[in-house]
Structure 1
Amino acid sequence: MSENTLEARLHDLLSKVLGIPPGSISDDLSPDNTPEWSSIAHLNLILAIEDEFDIQLSPEETLEMLSVRLIRLYLEETGRI
C-alpha cells in the first residue's frame, strides 16, 4: 500500500473517530495535545484500525499507539496492512 493511501485512510479514520477535521490531523497528534482523544476514544480508534486494516492488535501494541506517527509507523513497519 502506498504511503499516501495509508495516510489518507488513517486520517479519515481519525477524523471520524475523534470528530475532528481531517486538515487538523498531523503526525504529532496524540492524546496529550488532543482533548477529543480520550481513553474511550482510544479504544474506539483501535477497534476502527483493526476493522479498517483487517488486523488484530495485542493489548501491548494498542498501548504503544499514542500518536498518529506511531500508529502509521507500526502499520508500515510490521507489514500488517
Structure 2
Amino acid sequence: MSDTTRSADLRDVMGQVLGVDASELADDFGPNQVATWTSLKHLELVVSLEEVYGVSLTQQDVRAMRSVAAVREILAGHGVTA
C-alpha cells in the first residue's frame, strides 16, 4: 500500500474523541495519563480512526493502542502518515 497522508492531525482526532486539548497529548500519553481514555472512549477512538483515515484496524491493533505513539505506529503500518 502506498503511503497516504491525511489532512486530520492524529492529536486533533484523539483530542476530540477523548475530550481533551490536543496540545496536551504527548506521544507517551495513554489511558494511564488521560483520565477520559476509558474502555468506551477507546472503542470510539477506534471507530473515529477508521473513519478519518480509511483503515480497518485489527483486534491486535486495537489491543496495541496503548499510547499516542503506538496509535501513530499502527496507522503507519496501514500506510497512513498521521
Shared fold by TM > 0.5? yes
Instruction: Measure the CA separation in 2 of the matches of 1:13 and 1:56.
Output: 16
Q: Paired residues, what number?
A: 77
Contact between 2:28 and 2:68, CA under 8 Å: does it hold in 1? yes
- The residue correspondences of 1:3-18 to structure 2 (distance < 5 A) are 9-18=9-18
Task: Give ranges in structure 1 of 5+ residues lacking alignment.
Answer: none
How much has 1:22 moved relative to structure 2? Answer: 1.3
Q: Counterpart of 1:55?
A: 55
Runs of at least 4 residues off by over 6 Å: none
Instruction: Measure the CA separation in 2 of the matches of 1:52 and 1:16.
Output: 12
How much has 1:36 moved relative to structure 2? Answer: 0.5
Q: Does 1:80 align with 2:79?
A: yes
Task: Give ranges in structure 2 of 5+ residues lacking alignment.
Answer: none
Q: What is the identity, as a one-letter code, of the residue corresponding to 1:64? A: A
Instruction: Measure the CA separation in 1 of the matches of 2:79 and 2:48.
Output: 14
Instruction: Measure the CA separation in 1 of the matches of 2:31 and 2:78.
Output: 25
Greater fraction strand: 2
How much has 1:16 moved relative to structure 2? Answer: 0.6
Identical columns (%): 27
Measured on the aligned residues, the alpha-carbon RMSD in Å equals 1.7
Greater fraction helix: 1
Q: What is the identity, as a one-letter code, of the residue corresponding to 1:24? A: E
Change (3 A) 1:79 1:43: closer
TM-score, with structure 2 as normaliser: 0.83
Instruction: Measure the CA separation in 2 of the matches of 1:54 and 1:11.
Output: 17
